[in-house]
């Protein structure tokens, strides 16, 4: 597959997901997206495209149904599908799809909106002018295995890693945090095997000052980059809430999300999807 084929494949899927929830999506046409350099298994540079968009929220029931539709769209493809919810008052729910050659697509829904983002496969070739390594991707090549999947962990290791990451981010903004972690974990479709385990959780606190929010957001973005995670930032502000979401995407479907807004501060996400020894018995 060449870069143009990878871009075409991705936007066809991207458009199918958007079509599941028609509305005020904002996204540039595929022709306006230029590729970023990525690392291929043989150590040479390839190309992948990143894209993100958002829209206003639907009812909670409609958004729950949307996640089930997204899961149905991908579950038969052999891609890894992970779903999690933070169980908080903003009813944030996530579905993350990980495919071959570093393909990632994620949809997050909540009280304040819906975000859809990700990147195409990393494939040989150049998209032409403007192709250059992004900061997060350059860092990632130094810390992640070349297959983009990361080292396979046990469920206990994935849980420890994930909650440790939340602890570190939470410590960047000391205060009275409420923890809503789910240490028991839940099901995920590990690399199409139908047998996997992941963990979710969230921590919430009162809103920070505008200055402190930006300080936290910058710290979080640098934190993601230091771990080699892909960084996506969404401005989902409304007339009543200036809300910024800073996402970090790691190996095996690991997702970290930091919400900083007028109504509160939330740190959440889900762990890597790893093989579940108990699930195979």
Q: What is the pLDDT of residues 55-85, one digit of tens each?
A: 878 888 999 999 999 998 887 777 888 888 7
Average confidence (pLDDT) over 7-31: 77
Q: What is this structure's pTM? A: 0.56
- Residue with the bigger pLDDT between 190 and 208: it is 208
Across residues 9-33, what is the average pLDDT? 75
pLDDT of 257 higher than 80: yes
The structural domains of the chain, with segments of one domain joined by +, span 3-280
Candidates 202, 280, 183, 276; CA nearest to 245 is 202
| Mean pLDDT score, 27-56 | 73
What are the two backbone dihedrals, phi and then psi, of residue 206, each rounded to the nearest 5 degrees? -70, 165
CA distance linking residue 114 with residue 71, whole number of Å: 16
Q: Which tokens belong to 270?
A: 């889900």
Q: How many CB atoms lie within 10 A of CB 116?
A: 23
Task: Give dist(CA 46, CA 60) in Å, integer.
Answer: 40
Q: What is the mean pLDDT of residues 252-260?
A: 86
Angle at 56 between CA 134 and CA 72, to 5 degrees: 75
More confident residue, 52 or 220: 220
Lowest mean pLDDT among 182-196, 214-228, 230-244: 182-196
Give the pair of three-digit tokens for residue 200: 């979710």
- What pLDDT score does 138 carry? 29
Q: Is 42 exposed, middle or buried (0-12, 13-18, 19+ CB in 10 A)?
A: exposed
Q: Is the pLDDT of residue 19 over 50?
A: yes
Q: Where residue 130 falls among pLDDT bands split at 50, 70, 90?
A: very low
């Amino acid at each position: 597959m060449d870069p143009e084929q990878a871009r075409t494949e991705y936007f066809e899927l991207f458009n199918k997901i958007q079509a599941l929830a028609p509305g005020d999506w904002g996204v540039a046409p595929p022709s306006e997206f230029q590729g970023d350099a990525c690392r291929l298994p043989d150590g040479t540079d390839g190309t992948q495209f990143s894209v993100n968009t958002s829209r206003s929220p639907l009812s909670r029931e409609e958004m729950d149904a949307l996640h089930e539709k997204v899961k149905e769209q991908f579950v038969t493809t052999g891609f890894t599908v992970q779903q999690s919810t933070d169980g908080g008052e903003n009813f944030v729910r996530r579905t993350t799809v990980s495919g071959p050659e570093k393909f990632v697509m994620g949809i997050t829904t909540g009280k304040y909106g819906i975000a859809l983002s990700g990147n195409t496969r990393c494939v040989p070739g150049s998209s032409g002018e403007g192709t250059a390594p992004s900061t997060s991707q350059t860092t990632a090549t130094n810390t992640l295995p070349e297959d983009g999947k990361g080292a396979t962990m046990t469920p206990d290791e994935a849980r420890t890693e994930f909650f440790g990451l939340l602890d570190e981010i939470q410590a960047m903004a000391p205060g009275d945090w409420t923890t809503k972690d789910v240490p028991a974990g839940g099901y995920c479709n590990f690399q199409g095997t139908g047998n996997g385990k992941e963990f979710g959780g969230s921590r919430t606190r009162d809103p920070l000052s505008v200055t402190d929010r930006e300080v936290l957001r910058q710290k979080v973005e640098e934190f993601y980059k230091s771990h080699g995670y892909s960084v996506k930032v969404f401005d989902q502000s409304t007339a009543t809430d200036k809300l910024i979401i800073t996402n970090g995407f790691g190996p095996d479907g690991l997702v970290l999300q930091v919400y900083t807004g007028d109504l509160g501060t939330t740190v959440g996400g889900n762990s890597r999807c790893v093989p579940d020894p108990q699930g195979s018995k």
